[in-house]
Structure 1
Amino acid sequence: MINRFTLLDSHSASAESAKILDGVQAAWGFVPNLHRVLAESPAALEAYAALWTIAEKTGLTAQERNVAYLAIIYENECSYCMAGHTNLSRMAKVDDATITAIRDDQPIADARLQALRSFAAKLTRQRGVMNEADVSAFKAAGFDNRAVLDLLVLAATKLISNYANHLARTPNDAFMKGAEWTAPGKLKAA
């Protein structure tokens, strides 16, 4: 039990959650601890799984989605997701220099990806309250209104996972070894 959350599996979860966990197992070959935590609420697990699938349908490329996810995760200071998405980003062919820059809060060399990273970070940090100059700068880098709205899907996906991981103190999965990350520590419990 982690912070009073249990890592459930398809045998200990409700029938609704077990079905989703079995699908994750079939698709990924294992069930991440995040899903095992979320399984206590079939609705939360289903929402996360659905948003993850919907995020794949955005107009952003796999590399762009991963850069945005890392930027959102950085702002939300989720060590679990940063470790996981570091390796998922590598699988999506995001170069190590870009991944390291985001993890270390340094600029990305690629101007378009830096614009994406900056906008996704500010969107998260400002909770969607953006000024016209922010949106114009993002669009000037080659993005459009669809990309602006698509980032909301990614932010919603990470809201569920990042917040759940904070609450449960979800332990890293084996595939995250070597990608561990310590959050800057700007966010503190009240």
Structure 2
Amino acid sequence: MTINAFQVHDVATAPAGSADILKSVQEAWGFVPNLHRVLAESPAALEAYATLWSIAEKTSFTPVERNIAYLSIIYENECVYCMAGHTNLSRMAKVEDEAIAAVREDRPIADVKLEALRHFAALVTRNRGVVSQADVEAFKAAGYDNRSVLDVLVLAATKLISNYTNHLAETPLDGFMKGAEWKAPGKLKAAA
């Protein structure tokens, strides 16, 4: 159980609609992350996340770009679980350690194009999609296009499900996250 009494399911305890998805995750990853195990309580939520994750792989972004955008979105949403997980996923995708550290510390990335992506993904997340024409134009001037603008939304939607789930459930970190723990800046506060 998590702090808010969410069960961390396995295939045997998951509702019928979630068990097959958990099996697929196990086959693909070699283990089932705690996020998926928490999401399994709602077959619809687990399917939505799994589907969006798969769709995000089809965006116009390279694996490095996708991970930079994810990290930036995660930073804005202050999700300690996803920051730890995506730090190691980013390393596996060959994102430079310095770029990962920059996003985790909310500082600019040296690579101009990746910095434009980091900054734009942060603005979209922080402002819930309300960004200025100048912000969109600056993103495009760095080498992106309208497809990229919309693809940021796909990544933000994917992380909305995971980041918010982890906030609500306080999902425990997985073993593979050891060494990538992160302390959120603490800008977000629960409503009274």
Give TM-score scaled by structure 2 length.
Answer: 0.98
Paired with 2:28 and 2:172, the residues of 1 have a C-alpha distance of 21
Query: Residue 98 of structure 2 corresponds to which residue in structure 1?
Result: 97
Structure 2 letter corresponding to 1:126: N
Question: Percent identity over the alignment?
Answer: 74
- Give a deviation string over 1:112-163, Cα, whole Å, max 9, x none: 1000000000000010011100000000000000000001000000000000
Query: Residue 37 of structure 2 corresponds to which residue in structure 1?
Result: 36
Q: Deviation above 2 Å: which 4+ runs of structure 1?
A: none
Give the C-alpha shift of residue 15 in structure 1: 1.3
Tell me whether 1:125 sits opposite 2:118 in the alignment.
Answer: no
Query: Residue 109 of structure 1 corresponds to which residue in structure 2?
Result: 110
Query: Residue 141 of structure 2 corresponds to which residue in structure 1?
Result: 140
Tell me whether 1:46 sits opposite 2:47 in the alignment.
Answer: yes
Structure 2 letter corresponding to 1:138: F
**SS of match in other structure, 2:188:** coil
* Structure 2 unaligned regions, length at least 5: none
Give the C-alpha shift of residue 40 in structure 1: 0.3
Structure 2 letter corresponding to 1:134: D
Query: Residue 180 of structure 2 corresponds to which residue in structure 1?
Result: 179
Structure 1 letter corresponding to 2:163: N
* Structure 1 unaligned regions, length at least 5: none
Structure 2 letter corresponding to 1:26: E
Count of residue pairs the alignment pairs up: 190
Give the C-alpha shift of residue 34 in structure 1: 0.1
Paired with 2:131 and 2:177, the residues of 1 have a C-alpha distance of 33
- Give a deviation string over 1:25-62, Cα, whole Å, max 9, x none: 00000000000000000000000000000000001000
Structure 2 letter corresponding to 1:96: D
Tell me whether 1:160 sits opposite 2:176 in the alignment.
Answer: no
Give TM-score scaled by structure 1 length.
Answer: 0.99
Paired with 2:152 and 2:110, the residues of 1 have a C-alpha distance of 21
Paired with 2:183 and 2:40, the residues of 1 have a C-alpha distance of 26
Query: Residue 56 of structure 2 corresponds to which residue in structure 1?
Result: 55
Paired with 2:108 and 2:156, the residues of 1 have a C-alpha distance of 21
Paired with 1:178 and 1:102, the residues of 2 have a C-alpha distance of 16
Paired with 1:151 and 1:106, the residues of 2 have a C-alpha distance of 19
